[in-house]
Structure 1
Amino acid sequence: MNPSRPSRSPLHISLVCNTAWAIYTYRQGLIRMLVSRGVDVTVIAPSDRTFDLLTQMGCCCIDLPVASKGTSPRDDLRTLWALFRHYRTIRPDVVFHYTIKPNIYGSIAAKLAGVASVAVTTGLGYVFIQQSRAAQVAKKLYRFAFRFPREIWFLNRDDEAAFLDQKLLVHPERARLLHGEGVDLDQFAFAPLPDRAHFTFVLIGRLLWDKGVGEYVEAARALRARYPHARFVLLGPVGVDNPSAITQAEVDAWQREGVITYAGEAHDVRPFIVDADCVVLPSYREGVPRTLMEASAMGRPIVATDVPGCREVVADGVNGLLCEVKSAQSLTAKLAQMLDMSGEERRAMGERGRKKVASEFDERVVVERYKDLLHTLTGVSL
């Protein structure tokens, strides 16, 4: 804790991510708790449309240069230097880093600035999907940077095991399993499945090839002749700053073909979940996907890939179906299975999903973990 500040004064906490959108979308419960307790919250991320929304919630927002697509050492050093300067200026009591570059360069910058930090691995992404030189460099950087955080949080057991097995943690005793970042069960209330003639699938997330969007489109092509009442919707930002990004031109081509409907992006995904009969996420790897927790909380059956993160939320045959990763054929079969189920079977799946999320992924439990850690690091009870 900053020794110049009395212990009863508000803490200053910084949240650092490669997108402000992710801070706003996934950590509202945490921010509401901190602000309500009089904590100063600074969000450091590339500026986007959610800066205004975060400011309205009571956060101070600082623009951060992050080249998510690139591996240029010059760009990454700019990120590290910018974070170091911000930490030296604002002197936060604790910094929470999310996503790969803030985790690596933010952890180093916090150490240099003499600031306590926590790394939250929200998903390992391309580092553990690909076997490229860039992935090998990233693992070495992880091993160096992750000697500095006070704790390192993993959202699923597979990611924690990967770091431990590959000896990427110099201090393995600092690893903690968070089991997802939770969902607000009141905000994402249970809603009955639609009663209508057509059937709507929706894939919600950033439009990335790594999210399985290509397989989803192929499955839609294969199914639309057999199931003319089925609709296939995509919801989420297109052309994002990511090596796996899908372009607007590619989405436009799919729409012209009539294979999918692109619904754009939305601050509030709840109306789209309510309108869906099934939520789909054929991702290659996840932390613990928020969209699947939200969909289950609202009583929607799910089709997802049998990969780390997704299988934390989806129990195959219980609250959804799991397909093989990177297999459009397997995804097609599972979507067809969902279409062939009776309405009662899908309703039962949705109800079991709500119970699973309520027992395992309640956001209030996650917020308590943050409070406990902040007390341990600062001595301040919130």
Structure 2
Amino acid sequence: MSPFRHSTFLFVTSRSSDTLGRVERRWLRVMAALLERGATVMLICTPKAALEDPARALGVTIAPYRLDKLNLVRTRSRLRKYLKRYRPVVAHSTGYEADVLLRWAAKNLPVKVAASAVCGSWPPQGVGSFGTWVRRRLDRDSLPRVDVFFADCSDLVERLVDARLPRDRIVLDPPGVSLSRVIREAAAPFEPPLGHPLIGYAGALEHSRGLLVLVAAVPALRAVYPDITVVVAGEGPARARLLPAFSDGRIELLGRVESVPAVLAALDICVFPVADEGTPTSLLEAAALGKPIVASAVHGIADVFDDSDEIALVTPGEASTLAETILHLLGDPSGSAAMGERARLRVVDQYSSTAAVERHLAVYRKLAASLG
């Protein structure tokens, strides 16, 4: 009999974005695996949370009330009543408010508390220095109540250890992708712009992606490859700042595309000049496709792939170094292809979504067993 059958698992998120975050995308796969094994899965979220509809479609029970960020005392009281009534063996949170509220609500109850965070989201930030101090103080004071913390990069692991969370309560949970989905979506029709070689970026157009650095590298690239085409595909707030480079022909700005993996598959070199720590999902997709990659040496990338062996890492913000590294890869097609293949094998071995789900289930089994 499955150890999850007839057990209840509660997920709590305070994210209010209209798009799914990395933790929530992973949760959906974990939720599906728990349901397949006979568990009852419940969700508490904010109003209009992006996770609600896809979770409901899986068969997850959505709580009749929402997590209210403006009234934490009432939400904590409701959450504690929910825990007492449904008695989940594990309650798993993400997001500052959800984390702190769950730790408060679960005090002295027979439930194991789990938390998940991505590299750039912890410790939490507030509005202004005082707001940040308050958030970090509340988070730090409640952190000892966490039974297991899923951290997506080794730097975050060390930050948690420095915050005095025992290392044996921390699980390194690197980002992952569904290999079958990436391969399927890479086969979608895509007509690339004219020009050779073809390099660029596809994914969310966030300011943190550092795409203006790629724009600044274009003149040096064109000095060696006059017909090179630099592609930027996707939507997001950074699009407006890229429009001048599109207007003068430095880049091809494709906008929203049907399939990001299809764009990545068409590129000779995939470029991720990110400014902030974290691991872009599209970078993992490019690696899963075996594409040569140039990326910034930031936490979340540098501790996921080996520099020079699996991807080429550069100092963030340095357009000249970025251009030089891209030119080096273009000048060594066989070496670049071999590097891309090694990155693909790393994703297959360590960063598939299947491995991530199994990692969660193994931790849940251990937590449930410790309850007796």
TM-score range, shorter chain: 0.7 to 0.9
Conserved 8 A contact 1:182-1:361: yes
Conserved 8 A contact 2:76-2:104: no
User: SS in structure 2 opposite 1:325?
Assistant: coil
Change (3 A) 1:376 1:126: closer
Of 110, 115, 121, 2:117 maps to 121
Following TM superposition, by how much is the alpha carbon of 1:299 offset from its aligned partner in structure 2, in angstroms?
Answer: 0.9
User: SS in structure 1 opposite 2:313?
Assistant: strand
Query: Percent identity over the alignment?
Result: 23
Following TM superposition, by how much is the alpha carbon of 1:323 offset from its aligned partner in structure 2, in angstroms?
Answer: 0.3
In structure 2, stretches of 5+ residues that fail to align are none
Conserved 8 A contact 1:51-1:61: yes
User: 200-209 vs 330-339, which deviates more?
Assistant: 200-209
- Once residues 89 and 329 of structure 2 are traced to their aligned partners in structure 1, the CA distance between those partners, rounded to angstroms, is 49
Quote the residue 2:20 is aligned against. 21
User: Counterparts in 2 of 1:1-382, with a 5 A limit?
Assistant: 8-16=5-13, 18=15, 19=17, 20-22=19-21, 25-39=25-39, 40-42=41-43, 44-45=45-46, 47=48, 51-60=52-61, 77-78=70-71, 82=75, 85=78, 88-89=81-82, 91=86, 92-108=88-104, 110-111=106-107, 116-125=112-121, 133=129, 137-164=134-161, 167-169=162-164, 171-189=165-183, 198-220=196-218, 222-224=220-222, 226-239=224-237, 246=238, 248-265=239-256, 269-342=260-333, 344-379=334-369
User: SS in structure 1 opposite 2:10?
Assistant: strand
- Once residues 352 and 140 of structure 2 are traced to their aligned partners in structure 1, the CA distance between those partners, rounded to angstroms, is 31
- Once residues 267 and 27 of structure 1 are traced to their aligned partners in structure 2, the CA distance between those partners, rounded to angstroms, is 24
User: SS in structure 1 opposite 2:120?
Assistant: coil
Following TM superposition, by how much is the alpha carbon of 1:322 offset from its aligned partner in structure 2, in angstroms?
Answer: 0.2
Following TM superposition, by how much is the alpha carbon of 1:324 offset from its aligned partner in structure 2, in angstroms?
Answer: 0.5
Change (3 A) 1:270 1:13: farther
Following TM superposition, by how much is the alpha carbon of 1:321 offset from its aligned partner in structure 2, in angstroms?
Answer: 0.5
Following TM superposition, by how much is the alpha carbon of 1:295 offset from its aligned partner in structure 2, in angstroms?
Answer: 1.7
Q: CA RMSD in A?
A: 4.1
**Which of the two has higher C-alpha Rg?**
2
1:137-191 CA distances to partner (integer Å, 9 max, x unpaired)? Answer: 5543431232222111222222211332xx323x324532324033333333497
Conserved 8 A contact 1:24-1:50: yes
User: SS in structure 1 opposite 2:302?
Assistant: helix
1:313-372 CA distances to partner (integer Å, 9 max, x unpaired)? Answer: 332222220001232332232223233332x23221221111122222233332222112
Query: What letter matches 1:94 in structure 2?
Result: V
Quote the residue 1:242 is aligned against. none
Change (3 A) 1:95 1:50: closer
- Once residues 226 and 155 of structure 2 are traced to their aligned partners in structure 1, the CA distance between those partners, rounded to angstroms, is 39
- Once residues 360 and 25 of structure 1 are traced to their aligned partners in structure 2, the CA distance between those partners, rounded to angstroms, is 17
In structure 1, stretches of 5+ residues that fail to align are 1-5, 67-74, 240-245
Quote the residue 1:69 is aligned against. none
Query: What letter matches 1:85 in structure 2?
Result: R
Change (3 A) 1:301 1:119: same
